[in-house]
Structure 1
Amino acid sequence: MKSEFTQLNLDLIRYSLVWEDSHSLYEALEIDQTDHLLVITSAGCNVLNALLRNPASVTAIDLNPFQNKLLLLKKHIVLNHDYEVFYALLGFAGKTAVNDAWNTLMKTLASGEQSFWSAFFDEHPGGLLTSGKLESYITSFYDTLDQDIQDKLQQLIRFDNIKAQYAFFKAHLDNSDFKPAFIAYYSEENLQRGRDSNLLKYASDPIGPAFYDRLLKQVSSALLSANFHFRFFFFGLRNLPADVLPPCYRRRNYAFLRQQLGKMQVVEGEAMEHLLSKYGSSITKAALSNIFEYISQEEFGHICRALIEEPDRNLRVVFWNLLNSQGEGRGNSNGRIAVKKRPLSSKSSFYFKNIIQLQFVPEKTVNLTD
């Protein structure tokens, strides 16, 4: 089944960070040791995070071969090098550390991989996490602001009280040049410099104002100092405490992650096509990032109908809405689909709209209930 995903440009690393946070992933999927997972590769973060929950297997899938290549590089680093090399290549320790770690990594790569990644690190001396097209665009916003606004943004991650944090934002940023600058930077016209224009095809609301409203909501409801995605969004890799990093990038999980990598396979292809194939029949849970942003409501309905045509399908699908409302009003289908709209967690990236959980249940289960 071919869809509009095939229209995307897949000639570079588009995402060097997964923006769907691990906390929401874990809550929605409820991973256990019997689960066979399908996870969109993207930058690989949540593939690795899923492995840390000790499932039976994880299949990483992406149409973009460069996203899979990035995950396979991370796998190679974890299997063959100590944590310091991994931490440095991600970019957490600065450009000099990236260069030193690359010199160490290069010695263990095959010759063909050496040439590819040598050119990559020449182009991206800051490391892996800021190398994606989207991340490069997002993390450039901070440098467009004047020093006073930068200082005030930094103040936001020093609060230990949400009410005081929100009051400061309203008093010093909401009524300043920050608001129009943010809305303009993330307007439809400008955002296409960081994301594929196909993402915006089905968006119904003005993007800059929608993102700003979501930012305001997060400032009023979650402690920003503890939110990795907020900190990375505005400050990149500046001053990130170890305890806010995604689980797969924390030192204490490194040895266990190495043990788990044998459960991972990486596939190039389309997620829904894989789920509907004989190879995907064993998948029990799937984390599909925000892939449904790229398709119409009609195509989404076709996918759901195709899944319930399999009478024994017992599958949980979790995905994130960004600019669309896929799945929000869907349910029933003769009792075969249970829908749960989940709110964003305090650890989520503010720019998502919500999380949708679809539970496809076997036909025989419905009949027994009836």
Structure 2
Amino acid sequence: MPQSTLEASKSRLKKAVHRSSATSREGMLERLFTFAFKGLVYPQIWEDPDVDMQALRLTSESRMVAIASGGCNVMSYLTANPAQITAVDLNRAHVALGRLKLLAARRLPSYDAFYRFFGEADERSNIAAYERFLKPELDAESLAYWEGRDISGWGRKRITLFSRDLYHHGLLGYCIGLGHFIARLYGIDPKHMVKARSLDEQRSYFETALAPLFDKRLVRWATSKKMSLYGLGIPPAQYEALVSASADRDMSSVLRERLEKLACDFSLQDNYFAWQAFNRGYAPRAGESTGEAGPLPPYLKRQHFEDIKQRASRVRVLNRNFTEHLQTEGDDQLDAFVLLDAQDWMTDVQLNALWSEITRTARPGARVVFRTAAEPTLLPGRVADAILDRWTYEKDESFALGRQDRSSIYGGFHLYVFNG
């Protein structure tokens, strides 16, 4: 990736995360996080796109802006047929991944090739497909990223991740792998969860095998350290928001509660997040190791492939922060905004700048969705009343949709509707 682009990406990330002096304990933790966040974090985004689409009520005229993350949800939103999506992200790896997915939808020769590339993501044939169909048409920045190497230029090309199981890599993949390793130290294999054939069996396995792990001294000690959640993409400021969900500020209790929802509240037949967490990949077909399978994100389902192929050109992916991009949009232009959990990172100044731009660019009836580590919405008392009074917080709908979110790791899902 050109040096100027890389430096711009680093600068945006620092502005988003750094709050404290570099010589303070918090400042050092923040800088360790930005160092870790420079590479691929989310090979799969960890927010439920079906819940988002229910809340956003997208139409063929909708123009939306969303945080890209791993690109899965942006691709999935295309199934709702919006007119335009702008995806923004501070992380250059996420930008490169999103652009690769969009190009692959347009250029790979079949659904099977697309699924092999992003559903299985562990076949050597994916590299041949990249060389033939994708590499010649990739933009310069994305090409530089995928042709580049980690470990100071001495590692394998990043594109080879798609022949080495993409979902075992990235900070999230490594974090899940570490969780599996620790569980096995105590004689528990989380992959046994996917053998459950009913919600009762899922709960039984959680309560007898997984839940006791959170009482182990090593687990309690590790999760009390802010660095332990960097692999989930959680910076120090968001750690504080997350631990506040526990009355005694016990992070292991918070994580146990969130894992319980993931393991017990939704059938494994319908929850691809659970398959990623417990099986470290999407479910294979019965008796086979490869092929379209089990619960999948909308963009990976066969029935949506042709629509996504035709609509992929409606998406652009930019290495910018949300507020920075909105400043380039005109007044009354946008219908939907997807903020993921980014506001947990923000100061009051940043929140007010963001919501000032959202309000300026929103059309009447526009919808904003976001998630928070803690359960309550974080906007009242932090965003100016003059801005927030122009929006309606759909409290009951937010709560109902939050309960349907299969990703299960957030305390709250929130929907705001613009009054005009």
Pick the TM interval, shorter chain.
0.7 to 0.9
1:360 maps to which residue?
418
Instruction: Assess if the C-alpha contact under 8 Å between 2:340 and 2:370 holds in 1.
Output: yes
Change in CA separation of 1:219 and 1:313 when aligned onto 2, cut-off 3 Å: same
What's the CA shift for 1:62? Answer: 1.5
Deviates more, 1:231-240 or 1:15-24: 231-240
- Provide Cα deviations, 1:245-276, integer angstroms capped at 9, x if missing partner: 10101222111110111211222211123234
Structure 2 Cα separation of the partners of residues 148 and 225 of structure 1? 28
1:260 aligns with 2:311: yes
Instruction: Assess if the C-alpha contact under 8 Å between 1:90 and 1:129 holds in 2.
Output: no
What's the CA shift for 1:185? Answer: 5.4
1:170 maps to which residue?
207
What's the CA shift for 1:240? Answer: 4.5
Instruction: Assess if the C-alpha contact under 8 Å between 2:119 and 2:282 holds in 1.
Output: no
Q: Secondary structure at the match of 2:265?
A: coil
Q: 1:348 aligns with which of 388, 391, 406?
A: 406
1:12 aligns with 2:4: no
1:212 aligns with 2:256: yes
Instruction: Assess if the C-alpha contact under 8 Å between 1:182 and 1:212 holds in 2.
Output: no
TM score, norm. by length of structure 2: 0.73
Instruction: Assess if the C-alpha contact under 8 Å between 1:288 and 1:318 holds in 2.
Output: yes
Instruction: Assess if the C-alpha contact under 8 Å between 1:183 and 1:208 holds in 2.
Output: yes
Instruction: Assess if the C-alpha contact under 8 Å between 1:159 and 1:225 holds in 2.
Output: no
Q: 2:101 aligns with which of 74, 79, 102?
A: 74
Q: Secondary structure at the match of 1:140?
A: helix
TM score, norm. by length of structure 1: 0.82
Instruction: Assess if the C-alpha contact under 8 Å between 1:142 and 1:235 holds in 2.
Output: no
Q: 1:233 aligns with which of 268, 277, 281?
A: 277
Deviates more, 1:226-235 or 1:292-301: 292-301
Structure 2 Cα separation of the partners of residues 44 and 312 of structure 1? 25
Instruction: Assess if the C-alpha contact under 8 Å between 1:338 and 1:360 holds in 2.
Output: yes
Deviates more, 1:82-91 or 1:47-56: 82-91
What's the CA shift for 1:160? Answer: 4.3
Change in CA separation of 1:284 and 1:91 when aligned onto 2, cut-off 3 Å: closer
Instruction: Assess if the C-alpha contact under 8 Å between 1:321 and 1:353 holds in 2.
Output: yes
What's the CA shift for 1:355? Answer: 0.8
Instruction: Assess if the C-alpha contact under 8 Å between 2:334 and 2:361 holds in 1.
Output: no
Structure ranking higher in helix proportion? 2
1:157 maps to which residue?
194
Q: Secondary structure at the match of 1:278?
A: coil
Structure 2 Cα separation of the partners of residues 291 and 140 of structure 1? 25
Change in CA separation of 1:264 and 1:250 when aligned onto 2, cut-off 3 Å: same
What's the CA shift for 1:230? Answer: 1.7
1:5 maps to a residue whose letter is: A
Gaps of 5+ in 1: 363-370
Change in CA separation of 1:58 and 1:211 when aligned onto 2, cut-off 3 Å: same
2:105 maps to a residue whose letter is: V
What's the CA shift for 1:196? Answer: 5.6
Instruction: Assess if the C-alpha contact under 8 Å between 1:91 and 1:128 holds in 2.
Output: no
1:44 aligns with 2:71: yes
Instruction: Assess if the C-alpha contact under 8 Å between 2:344 and 2:372 holds in 1.
Output: yes
Structure 2 Cα separation of the partners of residues 57 and 124 of structure 1? 28
Report the aligned-residue RMSD.
3.3
2:62 maps to which residue?
35
2:368 maps to which residue?
317
1:216 maps to a residue whose letter is: E
Structure 1 Cα separation of the partners of residues 57 and 360 of structure 2? 25
Percent identity (aligned): 19
1:337 aligns with 2:394: no
Written as runs of structure 1 = structure 2, the 5 A alignment for 1:102-251 is: 102-108=127-133, 109-110=135-136, 116-118=145-147, 119-122=157-160, 125-146=163-184, 149-151=187-189, 153-175=190-212, 177=213, 179-180=215-216, 183=220, 186-187=223-224, 188-195=226-233, 197-200=235-238, 202-203=240-241, 204-205=243-244, 206-237=250-281, 239-240=283-284, 242-251=293-302
Q: Secondary structure at the match of 1:19?
A: coil
Instruction: Assess if the C-alpha contact under 8 Å between 1:58 and 1:264 holds in 2.
Output: yes
Deviates more, 1:321-330 or 1:265-274: 321-330
1:27 maps to a residue whose letter is: Q
Structure 1 Cα separation of the partners of residues 307 and 219 of structure 2? 40
Instruction: Assess if the C-alpha contact under 8 Å between 1:139 and 1:232 holds in 2.
Output: no
Instruction: Assess if the C-alpha contact under 8 Å between 2:333 and 2:363 holds in 1.
Output: no
1:282 maps to which residue?
333
1:292 maps to which residue?
343
Deviates more, 1:209-218 or 1:305-314: 305-314
2:29 maps to which residue?
none
1:357 maps to a residue whose letter is: L
What's the CA shift for 1:244? Answer: 0.6
1:13 maps to a residue whose letter is: L
